[in-house]
Amino acid sequence: MARGDAPRDSYHLVGISFFILGLGTLLPWNFFITAIPYFLGRLAGANSTTETLSTNHTGPTDTFNFNNWVTLLSQLPLLLFTLLNSFLYQCIPESVRVLGSLLAILLLFALTAALVKVDLSPGLFFSITMASVWFINSFGAVLQGSLFGQLGTMPSSYSTLFLSGQGLAGIFAALAMLVSMASGMDAQTSALGYFITPCVGILLAIICYLSLPHLEFGRYYLAKKLSQAPAQELETKAELLQADDKNGVPISPQQAGPALELDLEKEPGPELDEALKPEKPAIFVVFRKIWLTALCLVLVFTVTLSVFPAITAMVTSSTSHGKWSQFFNPICCFLLFNIMDWLGRSLTSYFLWPDEDSRLLPLLVCLRFLFVPLFMLCHVPRRTPRLPIIFRQDAYFITFMLLFAVSNGYLVSLTMCLAPRQVLPHEREVAGALMTFFLALGLSCGASLSFFFKALL
């Protein structure tokens, strides 16, 4: 809760602003992977701008391995900037990091939208798109980390709003794709409207961030933020990151631990601070306490990113051509995954099972490896004879996706909740930083492994 001397958030404007900022941080990633049919259509030939967003993307052969590269080049920046964040926070002011990242993402997405109207050779289009993916996600990693630092000084309910916005980014992207497909507009206009949508979202996020100093509630916490030492910024960021991942869905604020709440309730003097300050924990000591939970987090994301979207986006409906066949993948792959993933993560607000002492968690995580062959044996046309189609009916894929998404959301959220409970209060900063690193490591490992599974098809 906010301190007694803090002003009120009139009309919840600051809360709405952070919700929109959360939405804006993950719109780029979700809009790129949801538009895979468009990109594969463009890569099929120089004149493929005439193809619709809903083109059957398994028609042209994916000679560029677009699904795999877009996933890998989206996750590697997260891993890189997780390691570089400590230097960036010391060298570059927060406002520059946030506004600079938002403006860069806006310009790069505007370039992506403009390319809809430009006929390019497949190789050149692929190179430009991959460069855009890398830089957009690099700036996105800086943006996300910087906003977490700001949220560390605010009441916990605002971090929940921010994470809720992140969690709905995937659903928003999938719905935008469906609206674009159902609009009945010509191919280029439909694709252009789709890519302009995140540009509007990013522009709105910029306006929201610029408005914070002009709101009394936001001005109060920005002033408090500036009065804190850089080390405190990193500490609060690490604690918040214990409750977040790449898809950014909220974890119950009550699970964040009492340390931050105590800091918000009182301001001990320098003498008391020095007397109560615990010895800085060793990274290896903390790692020995959470290594199993961290390994579970890596394995969860390794399984998820190894098949989503590289393999799942290739699955098509087994029914004859028609409206359902056209909308099958956007609905059953992307929209269904994001909704059920959000639901799975939200479950940890009500219960945590298994607990940190149970050996059942590693078993549940390892069972998710079964999803790899299950998806690969679904209805994926133009495959090698060595892998037959066993689960041909659409109901199989939908069932697998339901379980896959819910288990991903729940297990990711569960591991991020359990890690801080396995260490002492003064070790939570290091535990949060370690879990953030292993989160990024799992994403990168899964993206890399997707090349191998794609080659088997």
Residue 433 inside a domain? The answer is: yes
Residue 32 CA from chain centroid, whole number: 12
Q: Which of 208, 233, 214, 57 has its CA nearest to residue 152?
A: 233
Convert 375-437 into a string of H (helix), E (strand) and C (coil).
Answer: HHCECCCCCCCCCCCCECCHHHHHHHHHHHHHHHHHHHHHHHHHHHHCCCHHHHHHHHHHHHH
- The whole-number pLDDT of residue 417 equals 86
**Tens digit of each residue's pLDDT, the chain (457 residues):** 445 567 888 888 999 999 999 899 888 888 988 888 888 888 886 444 444 455 444 444 567 888 899 989 988 988 888 777 767 767 888 889 999 999 999 999 999 999 998 889 999 999 999 999 999 999 988 898 888 778 767 787 887 788 788 888 889 999 988 888 887 777 678 888 889 989 999 999 999 999 999 988 888 877 766 655 444 444 444 444 444 444 444 443 333 343 333 343 444 454 444 444 556 678 899 999 999 999 999 999 999 999 999 999 999 998 867 788 888 989 999 999 999 999 998 888 888 899 877 889 999 999 999 999 999 999 988 766 778 899 999 999 999 999 999 999 999 989 988 888 898 988 887 887 788 889 889 999 999 999 999 988 8
Residue 4 inside a domain? The answer is: no
Residue 239 inside a domain? The answer is: yes
Query: Taking the CA atoms of the chain, what radius of gyration do you get in angstroms?
Result: 22
- The whole-number pLDDT of residue 242 equals 44
Provide the domain count of the chain. Answer: 1
Residue 1 inside a domain? The answer is: no
Task: Note the residue count of the chain.
Answer: 457
Task: Bin 424: left if φ > 0, else alpha if -120 < ψ < 50, else beta.
Answer: beta
- Residue 296: exposure state from Cβ atoms within 10 A (0-12, 13-18, ≥19): buried
Tell me the CATH number at 220.
Answer: 1.20.1250.20
Residue 323 inside a domain? The answer is: yes
Q: Which one-letter DSSP state was computed for residue 245? A: -
Residue 2 inside a domain? The answer is: no
Reported pTM: 0.78
* Alpha carbon distance 147, 203 (integer Å): 16
- The whole-number pLDDT of residue 247 equals 43
Residue 5 inside a domain? The answer is: no
Residue 271 inside a domain? The answer is: yes
Angle formed at CA 307 by CA 306 and CA 310, multiple of 5 degrees:
100
* Alpha carbon distance 417, 288 (integer Å): 17
- The whole-number pLDDT of residue 345 equals 86
Residue 270: HSE in the Cβ half-sphere, 13 Å Cα cutoff: 0
Please give the residue range of the domain that contains residue 320.
10-456
